[in-house]
Amino acid sequence: MWRVALILALASLAGGVGVWILAVPHHAGEGGSGREVAAAPSLSGSGAAAPAPQPIEQQAPAVVGSLIATLSAPTPYSSQPGGPPVGTLPADNPFGVPQVLAVVGQADSSGWAQVELPIRPNGSVGYIQTSGVTLTETTYSVNVSLASDTLTVLDGDKVVMTVPAAVGAPRTPTPPDHTYLWELIRPDNPNGAYGPYIFGLAEFSDAYSVFNGGDAQIGIHGQDEPGSIGHPVSHGCVRLDNGVITQLAGMLPLGTPVTIS
């Protein structure tokens, strides 16, 4: 698990791709400081470049992949299409970059879409109007197997990779759920406890309500203990080989669906 305490925004360019990066003076816990990457940069030597999600017409027919909604303003959500608002999502995530939501299924013809909400309890969903958001799609998805301690990346039905992973220990399990990649963080120390990149998931620990002073958010990240990979030893996060997480940071867009089972 990881949690960020204080945030300072700045603009930057990485790998020739324009991105918003936020300096993070402190990660509560072992990871040190880091930077938010709103769009993954191209990574030289990794063989993987950041995908460029293509906007989708609001009245488009069925899409092949999964829809992603990016907010541009505070957005109310309802418990049913056309219903009264039961909450409002900020335009930006906690790092000050545009909020990204995974769409469940497809947007309907009435202009509403069901989305996964990055809030407790895990699995929360709501409906938003699509007129005020940008819809893109991805054909990528991620499956984490708690039984085999592995992570699989798919592009449509094609398996891109299956790699060993460290998942939560029995007393601090990784919550089984359907979630998505909500944030991408680049720690200042790539050799620290979180490795070179952290994908923050839109889900939270069931074992902890607070972890090191902040909400106990689950992530997929690198590590500084290679021997832990392939074993259920974490506080709930999914640890990967540092080379693998670097490759995924250049491959998977925020909003990519993640299934943990």
On whether the CB atoms of residues 216 and 236 are closer than 8 A, the answer is yes
Q: Which of the residues 27, 221, 231, 235 is marked catalytic?
A: 221
- Does 221 participate in catalysis according to the annotation? yes
pLDDT in tens, 18-41: 233 333 333 333 334 566 764 444
Closest by CA to 255, choosing from 183, 205, 203, is: 183
Q: What is the pLDDT of residue 3?
A: 52
Give buried/exposed letters for 235-254 (b at 16+ CB in 10 A, else e): bbbbbbbbebbbbbbbbbbb
On whether the CB atoms of residues 117 and 204 are closer than 8 A, the answer is no
Domains of the chain: 139-260 (2.40.440.10)
- pTM, to two decimals: 0.81
Q: Which of the residues 26, 27, 231, 237 is marked catalytic?
A: 237
pLDDT in tens, 48-67: 334 444 454 444 445 579 99
